[in-house]
Amino acid sequence: MPRIKPQLFWQGRKKLGLNAAKLLPVCRTLESTANELRWIKQHVAETPSIIPFGARVWKLCDRRGKGLPLAYVLGNQPFGDLEIKCQPGVLIPRTETESYTIHLSNILRHSLSSSKSESDPDQHQPLNIIDLCTGTGCIPLLLYSQLSRSLPLQSLNIVGVDISQKAINLSRQNLHHNLHAHRFPRPSSPRDKSHPQRLLHFHKADIFSPTSLDPILSTPSSSSTSSSSSSSSSSSTGTGEWDLLTSNPPYISPSGFALSTSRSVRNWEPKLALVPPVERVDLHQKHFYDHWYYPDNEILLQTVEYQEEDVFYARLLEIARTYRPKRVLMEVGDMEQAKRVVGMVLGDGKLRGLYFGNGEVTRGGNERGAGAGAVQIWRDDLVGFEGYEEIMEVGVGVDGQKQIIVVKGHPEGHGRSVYLRRVGVVDDV
């Protein structure tokens, strides 16, 4: 990390004062120093205390200056229209995550409001959403907030899962925090049969442990005592299906952690949230896909093992195979990881059938028709850049058959997530 030029330091000190001089080394630019100083002051002004204003500002600037992330210094991070409480030990929600979460809620809103008329009994069918590796609970909380507002009559059943007790405690705290700030309506109690029924729960579980995860996954509607349609399993709707599975799992390799994370991440954020533990990889080592190819039949990878930072995707896709969620969204670290995950999907016959169909190759890719299923890569900053779309051709399988992948988001954005939509499910956006 290059040192701050002394000149800039003095300039900052002169212009913005001693507090800023503390912030400058971590903020790097005058602009972001000025921003953070203002946010710190606003925060102090808004939280009453008997300690004088100046002393508190100074103390927070001091902590921030030592590298503690601003969200830990201030104790929260905005996420969509929510305020998410943050504390050391639980990962701070990122703007990238916020962006695709908003996009997801738009997808769900459109697909539901267009496919359903008011008289449709399906509205009583809850929208089932599960977020694995939920951390602060930011993803399920924002989805709950957005969907309860945009689909006011829709029943919701949203679940967050994390291995860390600290994260689960914090996610529950975040539920109450935003509830008290009137940012969204109170969830229904499970016995409350009034309509719409909105459920939002957080559970502690290790996603690699079937014994603790299966009970959560196998009952999408925990309140679904309404056995009306459970037996007659119509293909696209019905109790017992997850409409959306999201996950922002740990995805950084040990070497990536040492070399390419920012210091404030490395020093202050929990490694459990960032780097998949090696034991998991050993435990989960198995044959997952055959071969996969890129354009021109160039073989990129022929091993049957995945890279260690991809182990959570292997597990998430295993879950997708079993529970067949209508939509899956997995955050990834970059375009390369996104491609590897796509390769894992397309290289697995069952997953490919579920999410890609046996879609014949059509150039221009998009015209695969409604309900054809989709495997997509989303780049950063999809919100505000919805119009951008690229086509990527991926050859997969022993025969090297070409498949079309749609890449969405601004072309300069990093690859940020992989989106799967099951065959037969229609999205409008």
Partner 1 sequence: MKTTTLRLHPVPSLSALFTGAVGRILKYGGLPFVSGSGGGRRPVIATSASAVAAVAGAAAPFTTSTPSWLKAWQMPPRPKLPEDELEEVYLKGSGPGGQKINKTNSAVQLRHIPTNIVIKCQETRSRTQNRKLAREILAAKVDLFLNGDKSRLAIVGNVKKKKADSKAKKARRKYKKLEEERAKGGVGQQQLVEGAEGAEGGEVEGEDEGEELEGYEEEEVQEGKEAEKGEKAEKRGGNNADGGRH
Contact between 262 and partner 1 (CB under 8 A)? yes
Contact between 81 and partner 1 (CB under 8 A)? yes
Q: With beta carbons less than 8 A apart as the criterion, state whether 425 and 371 touch.
A: yes
* Structure tokens given for 128: 């089932």
Among 22, 36, 107, 345, binds partner 1 (CB under 8 A): 36
Q: How far is the CB of 334 from partner 1 (least distance, A)?
A: 6
**Ordered alpha helix ranges (H), 66-120:** 70-74, 95-115
Distance CA 324, CA 242 (A): 8
Contact between 99 and ligand SAM (CB under 6 A)? no
Instruction: Return the SS3 of 402.
Output: strand
Sign of the alpha-carbon torsion through 305, 205, 135, 141: positive
Contact between 75 and partner 1 (CB under 8 A)? no
| Closer of 31 and 118 to partner 1 (Cβ) | 31
Distance CA 343, CA 361 (A): 17
| Closer of 288 and 294 to ligand SAM (Cβ) | 288
Calculated CA dihedral for residues 136, 142, 143, 149, nearest 10 degrees: 150
163 binds, among ligand SAM, partner 1, none (CB under 5 to 8 A by kind): ligand SAM
Q: With beta carbons less than 8 A apart as the criterion, state whether 329 and 418 touch.
A: yes
Distance CA 295, CA 379 (A): 21
Among 57, 104, 252, 425, binds partner 1 (CB under 8 A): 252
Q: CA dist 249 to 11, 131, 201, 271, 364, Å?
A: 41, 10, 19, 12, 32
Residue with tokens 């055959």: 290
Among 65, 69, 137, 343, binds partner 1 (CB under 8 A): 69
End-to-end CA distance of the chain: 41
Contact between 163 and ligand SAM (CB under 6 A)? yes
Q: How far is the CB of 230 from partner 1 (least distance, A)?
A: 38
Q: With beta carbons less than 8 A apart as the criterion, state whether 387 and 344 touch.
A: no
| Closer of 155 and 337 to partner 1 (Cβ) | 337
Contact between 384 and partner 1 (CB under 8 A)? yes
Instruction: Return the SS3 of 304.
Output: coil
78 binds, among ligand SAM, partner 1, none (CB under 5 to 8 A by kind): partner 1
Contact between 265 and partner 1 (CB under 8 A)? yes
Among 274, 320, 342, 377, binds partner 1 (CB under 8 A): 274
What's the chain's length in residues? 429
| Closer of 198 and 416 to partner 1 (Cβ) | 416
Q: How far is the CB of 40 from ligand SAM (least distance, A)?
A: 22
Stretch that binds ligand SAM, among 31-39, 226-234, 245-253, 390-398 (CB under 6 A): 245-253
Distance CA 291, CA 47 (A): 57
Q: With beta carbons less than 8 A apart as the criterion, state whether 368 and 362 touch.
A: yes
Instruction: Return the SS3 of 277.
Output: coil
134 binds, among partner 1, ligand SAM, none (CB under 5 to 8 A by kind): ligand SAM
* Structure tokens given for 279: 């034991």
| Closer of 275 and 354 to partner 1 (Cβ) | 275
Contact between 141 and partner 1 (CB under 8 A)? no
* Structure tokens given for 286: 């198995």
Q: With beta carbons less than 8 A apart as the criterion, state whether 273 and 91 touch.
A: yes
Contact between 162 and ligand SAM (CB under 6 A)? yes
| Closer of 81 and 120 to partner 1 (Cβ) | 81
Among 157, 164, 197, 403, binds ligand SAM (CB under 6 A): 164
Stretch that binds partner 1, among 156-164, 192-200, 295-303, 408-416 (CB under 8 A): 408-416
Distance CA 398, CA 395 (A): 9
User: Where do contacts with partner 1 occur on this chain (CB under 8 A)?
Assistant: 15-16, 31-32, 34-39, 42, 69-71, 77-81, 91-92, 94-96, 98-99, 102, 248, 250-252, 256, 260-262, 264-265, 269, 273-274, 331-334, 380-381, 383-385, 410, 412-414, 416
User: Where do contacts with ligand SAM occur on this chain (CB under 6 A)?
Assistant: 91, 93, 97, 133-136, 138-139, 162-164, 167, 206-208, 248-250, 272-273
